[in-house]
Every structure is written in structure tokens, then in C-alpha cells.
Amino acid sequence: MSILAKIAEIENEMARTQKNKATAHHLGLLKARLAKLRRELITPKGGSGGGTGEGFDVAKTGDARVGFVGFPSVGKSTLLSNLAGVYSEVAAYEFTTLTTVPGVIRYKGAKIQLLDLPGIIEGAKDGKGRGRQVIAVARTCNLILIVLDVLKPLLHKKLIEHELEGFGIRLNKQPPNIGFKKKDKGGINFTATCAQSELDAETVKSILAEYKIHNADITLRSDSTADDLIDVVEGNRVYIPCIYVLNKIDQISIEELDIIYKVPHTVPISAHHRWNFDDLLERMWDYLRLVRIYTKPKGQLPDYTSPVVLPNDRTSVEDFCMKIHKNLIKEFKYALVWGSSVKHNPQKVGKDHVMEDEDVIQLVKK
């Protein structure tokens, strides 16, 4: 029996089962089994390793990576060629783009790599079409733009979300607040710091037993679901911000546009007419949460043209030095920082000081 058949069987059983307190335990088990099978699909067993997808492994350049995901013929390639001036083959039939097409834009001093991924079809997470490689590239992005056609139903949004979720990509979510620590002995130690609507000690034990984990500390710090627990145990989930780009707004009325604007995380654009691109770029910048640091040589004015761009979670002075060259930190004595992260300008700081956007730094070596 193939993995796909097993997955279909479990999904059918989950659809048949009523959701209530009595069946929560059983559903949790089924979800864990499903997650395990899905993982086997993504990482095939055996070392023979089939041929890799040609043209899919694109070298990561620039400060951030943004991937365009969507069904065929929603205007991903048009959007890329109009944003970045890169020619990605554009035609009026489906599946024009067959490999990843990279482009780079400079925005607010940061180099952002844009990837035009081939169209996804339903069932991509089960390995249909080029879907598996497409979603594997999507996992490495810092931001995903789901490009949708305004005229086609919002069902497409659900389908793409479902495909990405099946691959362990969680969109616009924070990692669940669950403490999970394996032990050698002592059984399962279950503590919940707040009231739980779905998980109890019994369900947690059965889900962990499915993963053959019998000794662990589990701490639930928020009201979590079985899916959250499975995500933590699997440990291969990536949490990526996402913007829904609604393309082809030149074909709808103003009233419809007003309704679209109220949907969270969406930006309506027209790739062909280049409408609303500045709004899209601004929103991309907000979601990427990059931090720009300007450098200042001693006795000169700061260089505001080419900032050093750091990701939001790594903005200490040490990270800044590592970004430029790993030998810098050996010669580092202290740094002078001007900007919003310090109390007075300039302030003398050590290598652990955390900087904020648009700070100016001057390094002093030993």
C-alpha cells in the first residue's frame, strides 16, 4: 500500500469521525500518523536520491529572499519582470515558467532576491507536478507572496495554504508556545500553565507514543491544539510571513476593490499596468523586518548609500561584525553607536549591544 493511499485512508477516517471530547484522543492519534506519513513523502527513504530538479536550487543572494507562489497563469512572471526588470517567460497559456527564475530589486538600500516559482497544482505536497521542488524552494524564503487572480474564487487561496501546510510551512503564525524536552527516563511529565480546550495528558501521551517517545517534559504555555504539539515534536516546521497579492484588479469595480482592501495580509495590484507596486513593496518591507545599519569611518560622515542589512532576530554588534568579515570580531575593541538603540549619541558599546533600524556604527579595533 503506497504512502499516498495510506494518507487518503487516514484523511477519510478523519472526515468520517465526529469532533467531540470523546473522539479528540482518536483524532489526535490520526493527526500524528498523518504528519509522519507526510514527512516520509517529503524526505524519500533510501540514499539513491532521484535526479534533483534542474534549475531549482538557486543560490541565495542579497539580504532577503521572497518567493512568488501561485497557480499557473495568475501573473507571477509579469509581476517579477515588472518589479525587477528580469525577463521571465510570459505567455497566455498555463505552465509557462518551468524552473525558478531569480531577480533582484534594491529597496531602501537592501538587496531583495525575488524568485518566480513555477505554478503549483493541487496535490503538490503529494509530489504531483513539480510541486515538491517548488515548495522546497519556498521553504527557504524569508517571505512568501501568494499571487492570486482576483477573478478566480478564493478557494485557490485555501488550496495553496493547504499545500504549503502539508509541507510544514506555517504562514503568518508564531511557533506554538510549547516546551518539549526529551529525557532518558522518568515517563511523560505533562504541565499546562493555562486551561486547555483540546489537549489533556492522555491525548499528549498517545501522540508522543505514536512517535515512540515515552520520556519527555511537555509544558503547554498557551491553549494549544493537537496540530501545535505535532509541529513541535516534528521540529521541521518553518514559520514564514506571507502576503496575498491579488492580481488583475484592472478587471474589477471600485466597490469590489474596497471589499478586498479589508482582507488582512492582502495587497491588490495589477502586474500588467504596474498599479499599487509601491504599496506592495512597502508591505514587503514591513513583513521582512530587516534592520539597516550605516557604517561610519573615523573622522568622516556616515555612508548612507549602502547600509549593512541584518535580519530582525540577529542585530547585535557581533552579528554586524560577522556579516562583514569573521576576523573583525577578533580585533574588536568597542564600537560607537548613534541612533535609537542608545541613550546618548554616540555611546560606547560592547559586542553584545543590540542595534535598531538605521543606527550608525563606528568600530574601534584593538
Q: Which residue has the higher pLDDT, 232 or 198?
A: 232
Q: How confident is the model at residue 53 (pLDDT cuts 50, 70, 90)?
A: very low
Average pLDDT over every residue of 106-134 = 67
Print burial letters for 99-121: b (CB count within 10 Å at least 16), e (below 16): bbbbbebebebbebbbbbbbbbb
The per-residue pLDDT for range 309-347, each reduced to its tens digit, is: 888 888 888 888 888 887 888 888 888 888 888 888 788
* CA atoms of 88 and 316, how far apart (whole Å): 38
Q: Count CA within 13 A, CB hemisphere, residue 305.
A: 1
Domain 289-363 sits in CATH at 3.10.20.30
Q: Count CA within 13 A, CB hemisphere, residue 238.
A: 16
Q: How confident is the model at residue 90 (pLDDT cuts 50, 70, 90)?
A: low
Q: Name the one residue in this structure whose C-alpha cell is 503506497.
A: 2
Taking alpha carbons only, the member of 82, 88, 43, 84 closest to residue 61 is 84
* Residue 12 burial (10 A CB sphere; 0-12, 13-18, 19+): exposed
Average pLDDT over every residue of 116-145 = 67
Q: What are the grid coordinates assigned to 169, written together?
A: 510551512
| Residue 217 scores a pLDDT above 70 | yes
The CATH architecture annotation of domain 62-170+236-285 reads 3-Layer(aba) Sandwich (3.40)
| Residue 126 scores a pLDDT above 80 | no
The pLDDT value recorded for residue 246 is 83
Hey, where are the domains in the chain?
Answer: 1-42+175-232, 62-170+236-285, 289-363
Tell me if 19 sits within 8 A of 50, measured CB to CB.
no
- Which of the residue ranges 24-33, 72-81, 97-106 would you say has the lowest mean pLDDT? 97-106
Average pLDDT over every residue of 123-127 = 53
| Residue 49 scores a pLDDT above 60 | no
Q: Tell me the chain's radius of gyration from C-alpha atoms.
A: 24
pTM of the entire structure?
0.72
The pLDDT value recorded for residue 92 is 47
| Average per-residue pLDDT for the chain | 78
Quote the percentage of the chain above a pLDDT of 90: 0
Greatest mean pLDDT range, 62-71, 190-199, 239-248 = 239-248
The pLDDT value recorded for residue 51 is 46
